[in-house]
Structure 1
Amino acid sequence: MSEFGRILGVDVGSKRVGLARTDLLRTNANPFGTFPPNQSIREIEKQVKNEGPVKAIVVGWPLTPQGDPTNATGLVENYIKSLEKKFRDIKIYKMDERYTSRQAQNLLVEAGVPKKKRREKGRVDQAAAALILQQFLEAHPEI
């Protein structure tokens, strides 16, 4: 494994963006917040400045069950372009996010999170970001 550094996970939505980050050894992913899209870029910037070093950013890539682009794919593509402009030195990866929101919802149920809390806007978004990031870590242990 190379030097210390976090990887950030991003679950982009039109109203909310869920964010997660790894520990410095990149062994596990933890959710840390949900933000409006514009504010989420500033939050990522804060993470890069204050919680770094950040080695990569992983963005959930929305696809249909058949693997085709969805209505949200263009939105995510634009978000990635914004990240690439702002963070030229950080590698940005796309990670298939099919079913992550459903899996995140199921994980919250299994963890015993009460139904009322599971309905809070943003809780599933940040759990989905952590799930995307965890799946990326498992698929790419070399990073």
Structure 2
Amino acid sequence: MRIMGLDLGEKRIGVALSDPMGWTAQAHSVLQRGNNSCRVIADLCAEYDVEGIVLGWPLNMNGTAGPKAAEAEDFARQLTECTGLKVELQDERLTTKTAERVLLQADVSRKKRRQVIDKMAAAYILQVYLDSHKDHKGMI
């Protein structure tokens, strides 16, 4: 039961994949966001036998949905149409900051951080999802 996690940004999309058992998330790649993003994600889903997608949902700090959350909801609908897979939204508040803090503690250079921050945030989003659904088999 492999699940894909995505961190949707303005220019890039961070990608993470779970292990085949759906227990742990690993950072995978960073895609440039563009017109063919859904197709590239669909190809990755087919290549890795992904059964579902978790997309970061950027809620405001007070828990309300603003323009960025609406954009993620629209992208989730596009992904469902393109991949045929269920897409669930996962609260992603502070995930990029958390990933950045981990990379700073690991003394990763600024240039390297810029290259990996999006996929690290995707892995964090996916791991939070996996941990909150560990008693369930498959996506809810």
Within 1, Cα distance between the matches of 2:103 and 2:37? 23
Task: Answer yes or no: is 1:47 the counterpart of 2:61.
Answer: no
- Over 6 Å off, 4+ runs: none
- The SS at the match of 2:67 is coil
**What does 1:50-61 correspond to in 2, within 5 Å?**
50-52=47-49, 54-61=50-57
Task: Answer yes or no: is 1:16 the counterpart of 2:9.
Answer: no
Q: Is the 8 A contact 1:14 1:75 kept in 2?
A: no
Task: Answer yes or no: is 1:27 the counterpart of 2:30.
Answer: no
Q: Which residue of 1 aligns with 2:124?
A: 131
Within 1, Cα distance between the matches of 2:22 and 2:107? 26
Please report how far the alpha carbon of residue 116 of structure 1 lies from its aligned counterpart in structure 2 after TM superposition: 3.2
Q: Which residue of 2 aligns with 1:66?
A: 62
- The SS at the match of 1:25 is coil
* Unaligned 5+ runs, structure 2: none
Q: Which residue of 1 aligns with 2:78?
A: 82
Give the TM-score normalised by the residue count of structure 1.
0.86
Please report how far the alpha carbon of residue 70 of structure 1 lies from its aligned counterpart in structure 2 after TM superposition: 2.8
* Unaligned 5+ runs, structure 1: none
Q: Which residue of 1 aligns with 2:110?
A: 115
Q: Is the 8 A contact 2:6 2:14 kept in 1?
A: yes
Percent of pairs identical after alignment?
33
Aligned residues: 135
Q: Which residue of 2 aligns with 1:101?
A: 96
Give the TM-score normalised by the residue count of structure 2.
0.88
